Structure 1
Amino acid sequence: MSASEYTFNVASSCTKCSACSHVCPSGIIVMTADGPTLPNAKICIRCGHCVAVCPVGALDLSLTPLANQKPIDATLGIDSERAEQFLRSRRSIRSYRKKEVAAADLTRLLEVAHYAPSGGNTQSVSYVVINKREILGKLSALTLDWITEMSKVNASMRSYSNLISISRETGTDVIFRGAPALVVAVGSRKMPIVRDNARFSLAYAELFAPTLGLGTCWAGFFEMCSSAYNKEVYDLLGLSEEQMVVGALMVGYPKYHFKRLADRNALDLRFL
């Protein structure tokens, strides 16, 4: 549905509280004596704020239908202490059990991840999930080849040359750490903020993963290898040259579980 074909309905239960107009990022909802109106939806970013904020459910915009919005269950909220422990307990997992991750769990993981914020509500990230060992092996080998070539011309990459030796001498997967699945975030090369959008999305994924019994780790070497167009990698992923890998996350069942919250450097903070 295009913005020119929208419908904006306000029920008689509207209290004219103006919340919908105040939260609209585009500032296009106009309050009148009869309630909110939407004279022109051409710059509506379809965020759904106006419909979601209405305290009495009086507003319905066809671009973000009320019927598609799920009521928030306040009883599911958590206090600050539990939230802090949950966030601090996130760890990068590099040791995985030899167990496949069900497609349903991977789908649920990304269903949550794609609700992460995106610049201008562009929702510009798509995903490719690789859970076949053969393809993961090929992608790992191509990434090792890239590190080898980069170490010839980039001094900072030479410090990782030991990874190549370890992998080729022991057969250890130093790129994907034996993870049974890899989530690859994909976006258009023409969109400058798509990598930022992917960061938010994959951060949601890694935070939600433990609730499914899963662990994750950012696949940094693979992402660096794939950010520039690499035909062999992109062919394996089924991507075009116009597309770009903007993030990657290993996913699997952790072999070990952490018992304590690791410390960090002292907070560096200033108030002005």
Structure 2
Amino acid sequence: MPVKQAVHFLRTARSIRYYKQELVPRETLAQLLNIGRYPQTGENAQGISYLVVNGREKLHEINELYCRIAQDLPESFPGYKEVKHTVWLQQHYGYDALFYDCSQLILAISDKDLRSWQKNAYFSLTFIALLAPSMGLGTCWLGLLEFLACHPDYMELFAQLVDLPKGKRICGCMLVGYPAVHFRRLVERNPLEIEWR
């Protein structure tokens, strides 16, 4: 692939926050998730698999748990302001500020003893996010959910809710679905900064 085409492809990546309610078929998701096996991983450990949560009802239950935990979250918690703000938006404006009314959630999971669990999950989910538009799909990282679902104090609550296999942990969270919007322009970024020595 020529460099210009490769650069254009990489620049088209967008976070999607508006989704159609139609579920992506399992066969299509399996094809998408398969690309997550191929990026480089720490110590070549790989070790990432996936749990897909389907349906607005299930995602609503996860959102309810998120909001319940947020009620007693200590102010010293990393991401306290972001989590509280997400809950506040939902309580005051009545819209889904966590899942954006998306109907499917990808959870990257690994064995609890995998040392490079988060890095490997991020490598994997990045490949998935890059491939998704080529398949007519959109994705969105869910760092807001990761604050709680990947945290040692709260991960077991989410694990029980989604029936996570024993010995596994949640490493990363990403929405997936058919986009309800299409972007015509590429996103501008801050100018490149480099220091040479």
When the two structures are superposed, what TM-score results if normalisation uses the length of structure 1?
A: 0.66
Q: Report the equivalent of 1:239.
A: 164
Aligned pair partner of 1:264 in 181, 185, 189: 189
1:195-247 alpha-carbon deviations (Å, 9 max, x no partner): 11111100000000001100000111211111124333111222257422110
Q: Within 2, Cα distance between the matches of 1:206 and 1:178?
A: 19
Q: Does 1:199 align with 2:126?
A: no
1:121-144 alpha-carbon deviations (Å, 9 max, x no partner): 222111100112221111111122
Instruction: Provide closer, same or farther for how the CA distance between residues 171 and 262 of structure 1 changes in structure 2, counting only shifts above 3 A.
Output: same
**Aligned residues of 2:19 and 2:177 also touching (Cα < 8 A):** yes
Matched to 1:261, the amino acid is: L
Residue 152 of structure 1 deviates from its aligned partner by 4.4
Q: Secondary structure at the match of 1:150?
A: coil
Q: Within 2, Cα distance between the matches of 1:170 and 1:88?
A: 33
Q: Secondary structure at the match of 1:182?
A: strand
**Aligned residues of 2:79 and 2:147 also touching (Cα < 8 A):** no
Residue 158 of structure 1 deviates from its aligned partner by 3.1
1:60-96 alpha-carbon deviations (Å, 9 max, x no partner): xxxxxxxxxxxxxxxxxx2111111110110111111
Matched to 2:177, the amino acid is: G
Instruction: Provide closer, same or farther for how the CA distance between residues 167 and 115 of structure 1 changes in structure 2, counting only shifts above 3 A.
Output: same
Q: Within 2, Cα distance between the matches of 1:191 and 1:111?
A: 20
Q: Which has the larger radius of gyration?
A: 1
Matched to 2:23, the amino acid is: E
Q: Report the equivalent of 2:80.
A: 157
Matched to 1:109, the amino acid is: L
Q: Report the equivalent of 2:40.
A: 117
Q: Within 2, Cα distance between the matches of 1:162 and 1:235?
A: 25
Q: Secondary structure at the match of 1:258?
A: coil
- Counting aligned pairs with the same residue, the percent is 31
Q: Report the equivalent of 1:254.
A: 179
Residue 185 of structure 1 deviates from its aligned partner by 0.5
**Aligned residues of 2:56 and 2:102 also touching (Cα < 8 A):** no
| Residue correspondence of structure 1 range 59-74 to structure 2 within 5 A | none
- Ranked by relative contact order (alpha carbons within 8 Å, sequence separation 6 or more), the top structure is 2
Q: Report the equivalent of 2:18.
A: 95
Instruction: Provide closer, same or farther for how the CA distance between residues 129 and 163 of structure 1 changes in structure 2, counting only shifts above 3 A.
Output: same
Q: Report the equivalent of 1:184.
A: 107
Q: Secondary structure at the match of 1:262?
A: coil
Q: Within 2, Cα distance between the matches of 1:264 and 1:211?
A: 22
**5+ long unaligned stretches in structure 1:** 1-77
**Aligned residues of 2:50 and 2:107 also touching (Cα < 8 A):** yes
Q: Within 1, Cα distance between the matches of 2:147 and 2:127?
A: 21
Q: Within 2, Cα distance between the matches of 1:156 and 1:192?
A: 23
Q: Within 2, Cα distance between the matches of 1:155 and 1:208?
A: 31
Aligned pair partner of 1:142 in 40, 65, 73: 65
The Cα RMSD (Å) is 1.9
Alignment: residue pair count: 195
Matched to 1:166, the amino acid is: L
Residue 153 of structure 1 deviates from its aligned partner by 4.4
Matched to 1:256, the amino acid is: V
Aligned pair partner of 1:173 in 62, 73, 96: 96
Q: Report the equivalent of 1:5.
A: none
Q: Within 2, Cα distance between the matches of 1:199 and 1:155?
A: 19
